[in-house]
Structure 1
Amino acid sequence: MAGLLPTPRARAAGKPLKIGVLCDMSGIYADDTGQGLVAGVKVAVDQAGGTVGDRPIEVVFADDQNKPDIGTAIAGRWLAEQDVSAIVCASASSITLAVSDMVAERKKVLMVAGSLSADLTGKRCHPSTFQFGLDTYAGPVSVIGPTVKAGAKSWFIINVDYAFGQSLRDEGTKLIAANGAKLLGTTSFPLGTADFASQILQAKTSGAEAIALACGGSDWSNLVKQMHEFGITEGGQKLVTLTGGINEIQAVGAQYCLGMMLSTPFYWDLDDGSRAFAAKFRAYHGGRFPNWQQSDGYSGALHYFKSVAAAGTDDGVKMAETMRAMPVDDLLIKNAPIRADGQVMRPTYLMKVKDESAPNRADIFAYVSTLSAEQSWRPAAESACPALRKS
């Protein structure tokens, strides 16, 4: 799937400012990203008035099908042939890491809005790549500590077997040990697995008090459904999600996730700004509520538009400098600086799944606490990003 999103041109007569949206639009992550990510960018276009100076904004979008060769080929065409100057990417991490390298080489700009590999702001960081959402450090760091303190001293990790899941597993392993707990084992599965019996039985027989889920999208939902069928929680083992969000929980049913804690940089009912964004978003996405990935598409695109206006150019090198010099400030993120590794230094929120019988089915999270930016993101001293170590 590929397309061009028409935007208001007002009286603009200059060269179009083209921004691409690349993500899964037909596979296991389509609910997390898909047309909802395009809708988030559309809210940013509207907030910018449809233009930057005299340049009309054009949004192109495409389905990467969760395949690195397809995703990189699309990004390559956009950058080389279609004059796309920036990409909002929420692809599988293996795709986004490759696109990040490509964007740096072509001197363009990449806003990450749902790809979680910590390497994007770590050993493979680039001045042209900006992380607006969670990564595989921020997701686990806020939930593992509280779960250990609540009594879970032994753990088992089930991860999807590619860059995203492997990174979650590795970060989770370190954080479990750092909190004084013991990891009894890990197991993995291919992306798009239908039958999780083998992985679930390994976790069950391990006797671990907590089973950490290092995956997302429909993989996460199917895994949780099958764990319920195996009676995992009824047997006393606790499920801990390292990245799952509102879409996954709605798909499986909140009644199977009651009490589950998770970290998120956004929730649609958090405050007046998030509710205002949700109202605008729902008008473009069939009444559906936004998740954090889709909200990051809004924040990333709007910050880019503001930076182009401030710099008077979409030159990639100047854009990267301008984007870092300006704090991110919109309906959802308030005056957040961007660190040298490209991480937007915003707070995250610890949420707990509440009873699905709430009047609005999308109202499934109860706020627990706020983690400051310094608590949420990897400390600079531990970073593998050369630019951050120098700063």
Structure 2
Amino acid sequence: MTCPGTPRIYLQLRSTLTLLAATAAFAAGAAQAQPAAVSDDVVRLGLILDMSGVYADVTGKGSATAAEMAIADFGGTVLGKKIDLMVVDHQNKADIAAAKAREWYDVQKVDAIMDVAGSAPALAVLEVAREKKKIVVFSGPGTERITNDLCSPYSVHYTYDTWSLANTTARATVEQGGKSWYFLTADYAFGHTLQASATDVVKANGGTVLGASRHPLGSSDFASYLLQAQASRAQIVGLANAGGDTVNAIKAASEFGLTKGGQKMAGLLLYINDIHAIGLEAAAGLTLTEAFYWDMNDQTRAWSQRYYDKLKKMPNMSQAGTYSSVMHYLKAVQAAGTDEPTAVMKQMKARPINDFFASNGRIREDGRMVHDMYLFEVKQPSESKRPWDYYKLVATLPGDQAFMPLSKSTCPLVKKQER
């Protein structure tokens, strides 16, 4: 209320000042509501890998090099800010991996962890990322629990998983007549889930499982396990392990004459590094599933040659997946205009993935990156024309067939009507 004698010009001025103050307050509030463009003026990425153990050859320096290539190809900066990469060796210990993830998120201000080698360390880091509401992407570990019962709105399983490996390799093997199975299984989360997934596929397609032997991570002596496999008289010896364990098992099986006795081996997770270490004489005829092969097309060959020039060996699927996932993350940061996790993850799930690694790949609500998977057979020595020329393509499985359908998912993020 104003006095009758109050000048009109004063009333207009007071009204204008009030409007300006309200506008300023609204702008300040809006600014506070918007996330900072780039926290700490640096985008920090981390890799928690096996740099010296059983998975060093299939992740390790190769995955770190792939991430470095992606950062360099992106230009070294995003939103005008520097991109830093941090790498640590978890020594295949889940507690070390979890402690490092916590330190990185809390103290080092790492924005996203872009891979964790091994399923047990990966699951430990997954829980830290969930608690901190930070992004974590996996290309090295296999356990399907990452996008099933333990799924998180901040995690992505990028390259492969135990369900896709079992669904592709085991199904094709059973359909080709390999009805009875015996498993050599790594005694930890990855091996257990891989064996369980393969068992389901074998039985669903009319096969039987005659038994299994579990071995510790990093085994050097497979004699007793192979004797049990031979005694089972199973047609197929399924290898539910990875890295150095798979290499040692196949070499030992060759020495034991396992395949000469009529049994066949199916590698449920084999990398091209493993075939290189085993040699075609021992590995020829093996069937395996991969998400990537360097000699698929002009794009894969061009990128892989650049990688080879740095490390003098061809990349495997996890290393190629690391490059692709880092590029996809940085593109999402660019599109979101911030490194704030929720905004970035929204862009990661909204944007398709089209590069040398995947064609029309997409990240589902459960965090599974869906893309084609490939069934290969290892060439005979006489079929190989040059170094690293190891595979011949048997079949391509579209992503919607290769990975667990949402209707079977127990991920709480999946809408009920889609189950």
Q: What's the TM-score once normalised by structure 2's chain length? A: 0.88
Is 1:205 matched with 2:205? Answer: no
Question: Residue 318 of structure 2 corresponds to which residue in structure 1?
Answer: 293
Pairing 1:274-289 to 2, within 5 Å after superposition: 274-284=300-310, 286-289=311-314
Output the aligned Cα RMSD.
1.4
Is 1:164 matched with 2:185? Answer: no
Taking the aligned partners of 2:354 and 2:83, their CA distance within structure 1 comes to: 20
Aligned residue among 142, 145, 158 for 1:116:
142
Aligned residue among 407, 414, 418 for 1:381:
407
User: Sequence identity of aligned pairs in percent?
Assistant: 37
Pairing 1:169-180 to 2, within 5 Å after superposition: 169-180=195-206
Q: Describe the superposition over 1:220-259 as per-residue Cα deviations: whole angstroms up to 9, x where unpaired.
A: 1011111111110000000001011111111111211111
Whether contact under 8 Å (1:43, 1:280) holds in the other structure is no
Taking the aligned partners of 2:312 and 2:227, their CA distance within structure 1 comes to: 39
Question: Residue 338 of structure 1 corresponds to which residue in structure 2?
Answer: 363
Q: Following TM superposition, by how much is the alpha carbon of 1:389 offset from its aligned partner in structure 2, in angstroms?
A: 4.1
Aligned residue identity for 2:323: Y
Q: What's the TM-score once normalised by structure 1's chain length? A: 0.94
Pairing 1:1-391 to 2, within 5 Å after superposition: 15-284=41-310, 286-357=311-382, 358-390=384-416
Taking the aligned partners of 2:149 and 2:160, their CA distance within structure 1 comes to: 17
Q: Following TM superposition, by how much is the alpha carbon of 1:318 offset from its aligned partner in structure 2, in angstroms?
A: 1.5
Structure with higher helix content: 2
Taking the aligned partners of 2:370 and 2:120, their CA distance within structure 1 comes to: 24
Q: Which runs of 5+ in 1 are unaligned?
A: 1-11
Aligned residue identity for 1:254: L
Q: Which runs of 5+ in 2 are unaligned?
A: 1-37
Question: Residue 6 of structure 1 corresponds to which residue in structure 2?
Answer: none
Whether contact under 8 Å (2:226, 2:253) holds in the other structure is yes
Structure 1 segments, 4+ long, off by >3 Å, are none
Q: Describe the superposition over 1:179-235 as per-residue Cα deviations: whole angstroms up to 9, x where unpaired.
A: 100111111000011111111111100010011000011111011111111110000
Taking the aligned partners of 1:119 and 1:149, their CA distance within structure 2 comes to: 27
Taking the aligned partners of 1:271 and 1:133, their CA distance within structure 2 comes to: 18
Q: 1:126 to 1:153 in 2, by over 3 A?
A: same
Q: Describe the superposition over 1:245-276 as per-residue Cα deviations: whole angstroms up to 9, x where unpaired.
A: 11111111121111111111100011111112
Q: Describe the superposition over 1:66-115 as per-residue Cα deviations: whole angstroms up to 9, x where unpaired.
A: 01111111111111111110011131101101111111211211110110
Whether contact under 8 Å (2:95, 2:124) holds in the other structure is no
Larger Rg: 2
Q: Describe the superposition over 1:46-67 as per-residue Cα deviations: whole angstroms up to 9, x where unpaired.
A: 2211111211111110111101
- Count of matched residue positions in the alignment of Structure 1 and Structure 2: 378
